[in-house]
Amino acid sequence: MNLSLGERFHRRELEDLAISFLVLVLLFSNFDPYNIPYVVVAVLTAFIFHELAHRSMARRYGYVAYYKRWDTGIVMALLLGILTKLLTGGVWIFAALGAVYIYAPYQYWEDKEAHGKISLVGPLTNIVIGIVAIIMMRAVTPLTTLWWVLRTTASVNLWLAFFNLLPVPPLDGWKVLRWNTGYWAIAIGVAYLLRAFI
């Protein structure tokens, strides 16, 4: 069966998202099958929603945008996770497994504002999900399964927001900082402080 270019493109993006998602589930679950059910919702909302927010905003600007996994990052993340699990019992997470690639076929200059907003919308999505999870966590019985799912969801989303806002290329924080220092400072500060409420 011959697939069109668009269908092959779509299938590859879904495959890349799925592989990155599964690796992050392993890492955030500390390679413990018992933790996986708690982590699946957290990684789904933190990673998939984050990347789709980038892609959606980029397409609003008329750019060609799609998620592509970074195999080197995936191997590094797994090796670091396994090594730190063996040495310390905990997993250090390297979360740069891929990114939304953006192309502007008819634009020959870099639009810092557009790229800043595209970069900011991913961590903002994580912050909003983190806030919703914290509010819901306060409304359910503590230490129940649902409470742990919500706590994990808040924790992973806010950690991912903070990590991505670090002002280091090629992370989101670098592009946001280059566009607007004030928005970057507020966003990373909120992500950091909200983690104290978990």
Rounded CA-CA distance 191/37 in Å is: 24
Instruction: Give the whole-angstrom CA distance, residue 68 versus residue 90.
Output: 28
Concerning whether 51 is annotated as a catalytic residue, the answer is yes
DSSP conformation class of 45: I
Cα–chain center distance at 157: 8
The token duo for 49 is 């929603």
Residue corresponding to tokens 């991505």: 164
In order of 63, 163, 195, 198, the CA distances from 30 in angstroms are: 37, 18, 19, 19
> Of residues 7, 13, 51, 110, which has the active-site annotation?
51
Q: Is 46 left (phi over 0), alpha (psi -120 to 50) or beta?
A: alpha
**Which tokens belong to 67?**
């998620």
**Exposed (0-12), middle (13-18) or buried (19+): which is 138, by Cβ within 10 Å?**
exposed
Q: Which residues are catalytic?
A: 51
